[in-house]
Structure 1
Amino acid sequence: MTYKTEISPSLRVRPTLWLGVLIYLIYMAVFYVAFILVDVEYARVGENTDTLLNWLLPPTLAGCVVALSFVSLFGWWRPALSERKKLPRWAMFVPVLTAAVAFGNMLFGDYTTVTSQMWVYLIGGCLVVGFNEEMVNRGTLIVALRSRFGEHAVWLISTTMFAVFHLPNIYFGIGALAIAQVIIAFGMGSIFYLARRTTGSLIAAMLLHALWDLSAFASHVPYSGLLSPLLGIIAVTVTLIVLARERNQDALNRLKA
């Protein structure tokens, strides 16, 4: 099952696999070069006003320039942001459950050290991160992958690349924990994929991503982090089920045609 991107005047550049990979690699390079230049310690990003201002905002804003530039230059806004074919509504329970966990973490969190200025930086930074990472990994990359692969491969490759994106954090203060972060990120990427496919809009994935990061950075209570592996397992299982059913239904429709 392959979703061919419709070629329209708004698509200035025809989507190809290698263009999607190029955007991903350039975004990754710019983001982590910014990490190096500002000497980020990942585990301490949400510690205070200065760490947020100096460590969260520069890499995310630099990455935002890359994402905005490429999607505008190529004219991929429409296929990157919207779906022509949604997955069944029942699968939406996974993103909804994830949002509930994030809200729970926010509700019962410890914010005694979070100032009003920190809230501005946290909310703004997390919204930009949600836009950046979703636009690159489940926006332009999915558009590009669909020019070559069926949807199972599109999900698997885009989610794996999203997970691997976090591996360089091994050099930014968390060491071998970055490997666990990669594994967890694969599950979270599957949740964000389901958010896009069940709602028909990448914006849902962007907002959920931002909410999840905000709940992790702002609160010292680790409920969301502890539950993320379980949520990831549920998301991968549901994704495999709904994609298999979608492929079978498409095969039946072709036989009836």
Structure 2
Amino acid sequence: MSITEQVSADPAPRRLSYVGFAVIVVAYLAIIQLGGRVARAVFDSGDGFTTTRDVMVNMWIPLGAAAVFTYAVVTWLGWGRPVLREERRLRRWTWAVPIILAVCILLAINYAGLADKGIGFVLALLVATQFVGWGEEGMFRGVGVNILREHGLTEGKVALWSSIVFGSVHLTNALAAGGQAIAQAVVVSFAGYFFYLIRRASGGNALNSVLHGLFDFSLISCTAIAVDQELYLGAVAGFLAYVIIAVVVIIGRKRLEPAAATDVPSRS
């Protein structure tokens, strides 16, 4: 069988409706929320992330399961290539976005606090936050972006709605955080747009996934483990990441797309 015949014999990627995507997202959230509660009950774990055991129970189990679910969905849809690779590249200057974010991550990490916790805790938290990064980026910048493209939205609307959906799902944190979840959802929407830009700047879904995980790692090192400690000043770097990237993007907003870029569906 020739290569052409083999390709034509391969099953075509599945199409996904908005309702279907909503069902998948709800299932993803249920795995995280319910899985976390079940894990805490079974292993009699605390609610926080202050010990290595708590991180492994409260984060590894639900977030790892959610990440596995995400890529099982990607495989079932036959969307491996469009999820993991990005054909619609932005101009080279947009590499400034991941560079700025990476610098702010390095500045934000609470090195002293992590050193007190030990290498086991650090490695456990790194793994846990990478589950977050790869799971959420696979679901929202991978599946989410591509379903919007499949339905013919312009790239501007793809960026907008994928970011809004990403922020909105964090409203489920209201179960634990109350009204603070609304402000968090707004902030996360902006973060979603930045990760969308990183996907398109880098040409794939890997760099944004890694940086997403490391950004969460830096934030948790500044907050969740800082029990009975004063606010770690490095946390300001996380806030500065939003401000600096926003200013850079606003200034260069008319020079994001390559000159020959057109808004066409990613797959026929």
Q: TM-score category by the smaller chain?
A: 0.7 to 0.9
User: Letter of the aligned partner of 1:25 in structure 2?
Assistant: V
For residues 242 and 9 of structure 2, what CA distance do their matches in structure 1 show? 40
Q: Which range moves more in the overlay, 20-29 or 224-233?
A: 224-233
Q: Which residue of 119, 123, 126 corresponds with 1:123?
A: 126
C-alpha displacement of 1:127:
1.2
For residues 242 and 104 of structure 1, what CA distance do their matches in structure 2 show? 29
Query: Which residue matches 2:163?
Result: 159
Query: Which residue matches 1:78?
Result: 81
CA gap of 1:198–1:123, structure 2 versus 1, over 3 A, is same
CA gap of 1:11–1:21, structure 2 versus 1, over 3 A, is farther
C-alpha displacement of 1:164:
1.1
User: Letter of the aligned partner of 2:31 in structure 1?
Assistant: V
* Structure 2 SS opposite 1:146: helix
Query: Which residue matches 1:176?
Result: 179
What's the TM-score, normalizing by structure 1?
0.82
C-alpha displacement of 1:215:
0.9
- Any residues of structure 2 matched to 1:69-148 within 5 Å, and which? 69-106=72-109, 110-148=113-151
Q: Is the 8 A contact 2:67 2:136 kept in 1?
A: no
Query: Which residue matches 2:154?
Result: 150
Aligned residue pairs, count: 240
For residues 238 and 28 of structure 1, what CA distance do their matches in structure 2 show? 36
Q: Is the 8 A contact 2:97 2:194 kept in 1?
A: yes
Structure 1 gaps of 5+ residues are 1-6, 252-257
For residues 229 and 29 of structure 1, what CA distance do their matches in structure 2 show? 29
CA RMSD of aligned residues (A): 2.8
Matched, 1:205 2:221: no
User: Letter of the aligned partner of 2:93 in structure 1?
Assistant: W
Partner deviation per Cα, 1:116-155 (whole Å, 9 max, x = no partner): 2212211111111111000000001111110111111111
For residues 156 and 214 of structure 2, what CA distance do their matches in structure 1 show? 27
- Any residues of structure 2 matched to 1:55-74 within 5 Å, and which? 55-74=58-77
- Any residues of structure 2 matched to 1:219-230 within 5 Å, and which? 219=222, 220=226, 221=232, 222-230=235-243
Q: Is the 8 A contact 1:188 1:232 kept in 2?
A: no
For residues 181 and 187 of structure 2, what CA distance do their matches in structure 1 show? 10
Asked which structure has the greater CA Rg, the reply is 2
* Structure 2 SS opposite 1:80: helix
CA gap of 1:31–1:79, structure 2 versus 1, over 3 A, is same
Query: Which residue matches 2:32?
Result: 31
CA gap of 1:8–1:123, structure 2 versus 1, over 3 A, is farther
C-alpha displacement of 1:64:
1.7
CA gap of 1:85–1:10, structure 2 versus 1, over 3 A, is farther
Q: Percent identity?
A: 25
C-alpha displacement of 1:12:
3.5
What's the TM-score, normalizing by structure 2?
0.79
Structure 2 gaps of 5+ residues are 1-7, 42-46, 227-231, 263-268
For residues 213 and 29 of structure 1, what CA distance do their matches in structure 2 show? 21
Q: Is the 8 A contact 1:188 1:231 kept in 2?
A: no
For residues 144 and 107 of structure 2, what CA distance do their matches in structure 1 show? 31
